[in-house]
Structure 1
Amino acid sequence: MDNVFNYLSVKMKRKLFTCISVLLILLTACRNRGADYQQQNEDKQAKEMLQGLWTNGENSDPAMLVKGDSIFYPDSASMPVRFWIYQDTIYLQGQNVHGYKIEKQAPHLFKFANQNGDDVKLTKTNDKALYSAFNYHVYAMNTFLEQSQDTIIRTDLGYFESKVHVQTTSDKVVKSTYNDNGVEVDNMYLDNVAALRLYNHGTPVFAHDFRKQEFQSLIPKDFLSRSILRKMYFTHADAKALYYYVIIGIPDADTTYVIELRVTPDGRMTKKLK
């Protein structure tokens, strides 16, 4: 009899464990609905209520403009993002997808918790003058920036004239950062190309336009995709070569890789990581 009871107990425990496991899986699946599911089942009434121009609750500065499926920011460097509202959370989809818990929503009030858990209070406004803050094209942070370095270099092999010029290209790099409300926004940057021209008494010795992709064997792929070629400049010369540094890094951050270029008077070039 005891054996039968024990057998039934073990069988019931296994069923109970199975049921609990299935329930946990279902609850996890409900909590972690994918972005496609959330968008298909979004709260359309809440989205409609969010349409319009919103200001920061305390100082009445423009905070965001909501039009259709997009949110625009009063910053010509911040790219607009797609958004949707699912259950009690607003999701913003830029380079990454982030959800912010909605604390309160009314026709003229929107309150949510930012990335740090701080409350952000926005107020809808009908002040048409504030629309001018959103009347722009998104520009890269480093548009039109150029750098030049012309150097006369004396070596044991004579005088060399070095010309370095760094300027932006059309290649875009997006960097995620946080605005004053603690919301992640995407800022756009342009990658650079570094042109090096080297002459020996007026005779061309070396000419090349460097792009960051040429250094992919020295820099991790993920880092390279998020970085730009920031600088290139002459550092020194010895009896055998001229040396340059190429700086590749995350835009507006201290994280960089430094590559040393070695150019010999006969125009041969080698590179290594410093």
Structure 2
Amino acid sequence: MYRFIILLICSALLFSCKKDKNKNEMQRENIEAKKMLQGVWTDDATGTPIIKIKGDSIFYTDPSISPVMFKVINDSLFTYGSVVNGYKIEKVNQYNFWFDSETGDVVQFSKSEDYNDLKFFSFDKPTLNSKKVIKKDSIINFNNVRYRGYVYINPSKIKVTQSRVSDEGINVDNFYYDNIIHICVYDGNKKLCSKDINKNMMSGIIPDDFLQNSILADMDFVGVNSKGYRYQAKVGIPDEASCYLVDVIIDKKSNVKFNVVK
């Protein structure tokens, strides 16, 4: 009886080990395929460099696209950006790399043999802002007083990521840098108010999912009344028409209130 129980336990352990071994083999990375993918790859149709593969990362010629870590598991390429994407590899060798795209087409790349193609991947840290402070000023007259309002659009290091499908049918992460905007109002040489504005201050009046994917794009000084000074901000999704216009009201005690423009 005891021998039978021991045999059952050993059989269960052996089955479990085989199952774990098969699972590990299924997830084992194809190192040989990864070695063949190292280098610059061009579009077969146009001859244009599209991606550079170095080590565990894929780099793109578009500086606004984040490099992404990848693995080759069995016959598929997996990329690990903001989401994990898998692409079935149709053909891979030292000269050709074909795989199924997000759109169902077969992407066909050829290994570049032109050293000059490396220059397409030589750029500074990507940014879609100017890296410079943009200054704007406007004059508003109210009750015979001449008010001058200033706007300083300051590029920040706050990154906003947008996932999209590239022209080649690859899911990529575009990233952008948000702005922090300084606003102030003067009556002659007298400073009446001064505030730094960021998009998170508008939480509660703009939906959180929109706010997370947007940038504080612009600001204008648009009015003065008995209650205070009015600016209008633009909060938008990069490269899309979707945006919110927000009134920024600063009272005489420098308290700030935000209202979405209907």
Match of 2:88 among 78, 101, 114: 101
Task: Find 1:43's aligned residue among 24, 30, 34.
Answer: 30
| 2:134 equivalent in structure 1 | 147
- Paired positions, count: 239
Superposition pairs of residues 99-248 of structure 1, within 5 angstroms: 99-144=86-131, 146-156=133-143, 158-248=145-235
Match of 1:80 among 54, 67, 78: 67
Q: Which residue of 1 aligns with 2:10?
A: none
Instruction: Provide closer, same or farther for how the CA distance between residues 194 and 87 of structure 1 changes in structure 2, counting only shifts above 3 A.
Output: same
CA 1:100 to 1:212, structure 2 compared with 1: closer, same or farther past 3 Å?
same
CA distance in 2, matches of 1:53, 1:39: 28
Q: CA deviation at 1:146?
A: 4.2
Query: What amino acid sits opposite 2:152 in the alignment?
Result: H
Deviation at 1:265, TM superposition (A): 4.4
Indicate conservation of the 8 Å contact 1:70/1:80, yes or no.
Answer: yes
Supply the distance in 2 between the matched residues of 1:204 and 1:124 (Cα, whole angstroms). Answer: 61
Paired position in structure 2 for 1:9: none
Query: In the alignment, which residue of structure 2 is the partner of 1:90?
Result: 77
- Counterpart in the other structure of 1:253: 240
> Which stretch of the first structure deviates more once superposed, 132-141 or 63-72?
132-141
SS at match of 1:199: strand
Cα distance in 1, alignment partners of residues 68 and 253 from structure 2: 51
CA distance in 1 between partners of 2:255 and 2:117 (Å): 58
Q: Do the aligned partners of 1:245 and 1:259 also contact (CA within 8 Å) in 2? A: yes
How far did 1:212 drift? 1.2
* CA separation of 1:67 and 1:57: change in aligned 2, threshold 3 A: same
Identity %: 31
Whichever residue aligns with residue 188 of structure 1, its letter is F
Q: Which runs of 5+ in 1 are unaligned?
A: 1-32
Residue type matched to 1:90 in 2?
L
Corresponding residue for 2:44?
57
**Secondary structure at the counterpart of residue 247 of structure 2:** strand
Letter in 2 for 1:189: Y
Q: Aligned in 2, Cα 1:145/1:120: closer, same or farther, shift over 3 Å?
A: farther
Deviations 1:98-136 (A, max 9, x none): 112222223211111211112210011222121121222
Match of 1:48, SS state, is helix
One-letter code of the match for 2:33?
A
Structure 2 counterpart of 1:41, which letter?
R
Distance of 1:48 and 1:268 partners within structure 2: 60
Q: Structure 2 length normalisation: TM-score?
A: 0.82
Deviation at 1:167, TM superposition (A): 1.9
